[in-house]
Amino acid sequence: MESCAMPIPFLSEGLALGRIFITVCTGGWRWWRARRRRLTPQETLAIRSKWKPLFVEWLRNQRHQKLSTEVIIRDLRRIDNYPDTKEGKGISAWFRIGLIGNYERGIMLSCGIYELVYDANEEVYYSPAKGARGNTKVTLTGYVPYENIETVDWDGDQYYSYPHIYCYFDRKHKQPYEKLSFCERGNLDEHVFYSEIISFESVRRETKKRGIKSSFLS
């Protein structure tokens, strides 16, 4: 007796769609992993060991000679946007900013000097209302990990002779910072340093809690 296999309706179509789905998911996962730049602990350590002494020495020399510590931060994935200044929403593809220090994992950038109000009774900081003064002078500081830095052009170019630091803007809100915090400036034996006192998010929450409108915290 001759046997025959009866076709199962929609099976071949289902298998084909399944293969397409797997292919799309695999490609999407590879794309996501590429964007996240997953580094091994060994790779992270090698990057930090490479950049830390260079930035520490550069900043020490600039301050010793009383020279500018400004740098140009550039988004590695938008390098052709420089030197254009037209930008849409979100962080600019490049910007000039002061390099004010180093921390254990990277460099510290000054995003502006502000005044906060310190409430000693509740031990909290918040932004004063518009037109009012605070009682604590602070520097809003962006912390850029060394592993977010790809390369540095220390001599700059014809537009800006400051070091150009090419970074991956792949942190929160597509920024190069792993965190934003308010710091106080200090001096010890003519050595300038910045000490973190409160996170940006903590100040924003406390300010909002008190019903105070602050443009720079929005």
- 178: CB partners within 8 A, 6+ apart: 105, 106, 143, 144, 145, 148, 171
**Domain limits at 174?**
41-217
DSSP secondary structure code for residue 23 in this structure:
H
Give domain status of residue 54, yes or no: yes
Q: Are residues 64 and 103 in contact, defined by beta-carbon separation less than 8 angstroms? A: no
pTM, entire model: 0.81
C-alpha–C-alpha distance, residues 174 and 144, integer Å: 13
List all residues 6 or more positions away from 148 whose beta carbon is below 8 Å from its beta carbon: 106, 167, 168, 170, 171, 176, 178
Backbone angles phi, psi at 7, to 5 degrees: -65, 140
User: In angstroms, rounded to a whole number, what is the distance separating the alpha carbons of residues 97 and 44?
Assistant: 25
Whether the Cβ atoms of residue 97 and residue 109 lie closer than 8 Å to each other: yes
Q: How far apart are CA 3 and CA 9, in angstroms?
A: 19
Q: Count the domains in the chain.
A: 1
Q: What angle do CA 105, 35, 87 make, to 5 degrees?
A: 90
Structural domain includes residue 47: yes
> Which tokens belong to 25?
């998911």
Query: pLDDT tens digits, the chain, 218 residues: what are they?
Result: 444 443 444 444 544 445 544 444 444 444 444 455 789 999 999 999 999 999 999 999 999 999 999 999 999 999 999 999 876 788 999 999 999 999 999 999 999 999 999 999 999 999 999 889 999 999 999 999 999 999 999 999 999 999 999 999 999 989 999 999 999 999 988 889 999 999 999 999 999 999 998 877 76
